[in-house]
Amino acid sequence: MPIIPSVPFCEEMPSHFKLGETKAEIKLNNIEENRNAALSLSEQARYGINIFTQDMDNAVYDNDEFEKYIFNLATCHPSAQIRILVQDSTIAVKKGHCLIRIAQKLTSSVFIKNPPKIHKNDKSSFMTVDGVGMLYSVRSDKYNYEASVNFMSPQRATKLNDFFNEAWDHGLPDQQVRRLFV
């Protein structure tokens, strides 16, 4: 995965970020900041969200607010797609992750795949929104939540989306999350 260099960080986090307008690069240091950034980005999404993750990161993506924003995007914007590439969904499946529930209900808008083997050991994780916003983390371990968020970074979001699309095209549907009809 390409390492995306960051631009200088803002000293303090503004109270309101506008997707497609706020160009500031914000440094994040903990789970709460990552969760809040993901919520703010997803709340403003209109066209689509791509998530590349190791294990669906329960601490960031598995909460009622995020579920609501993803559901609203998928149902209020018919052409929107939410695509998730997850290395290992075992823990998320066991915990009943909200993204898995939504993917099982909204099968024409929310998709979950496993990346091809060439990307199985990538430690980075990211979320891109509407091709301009991004939340990006290079993780050395699952407890490191140092990341950056930018609500208007189309060049960096495009690089991440290019990587994502290549991995998506060669990925396979995640068999652990498929909906079983009885």
| Closest residue by Cα to residue 49 from 68, 73, 25 | 73
Distances (CA, A) of 43 to 3, 37, 88, 133, 177: 26, 10, 26, 12, 24
Q: What is the mean pLDDT of residues 40-47?
A: 96
In tens, the pLDDT along 3-43 reads 555 544 444 444 578 999 999 899 999 999 999 999 999 99
Query: Please, what is the average pLDDT of the chain?
Result: 89
Q: Is the pLDDT of residue 128 over 70?
A: yes
Residue type, position 177, single letter: V
CB 46 within 8 A of CB 80: yes
- In the chain the domains, ranked by start, together with CATH numbers, are 26-173 (3.30.870.10)
Q: What is the mean pLDDT of residues 154-158?
A: 97
Q: How far apart are CA 70 and CA 148, in angstroms?
A: 21
Q: How far apart are CA 179 and CA 133, in angstroms?
A: 30
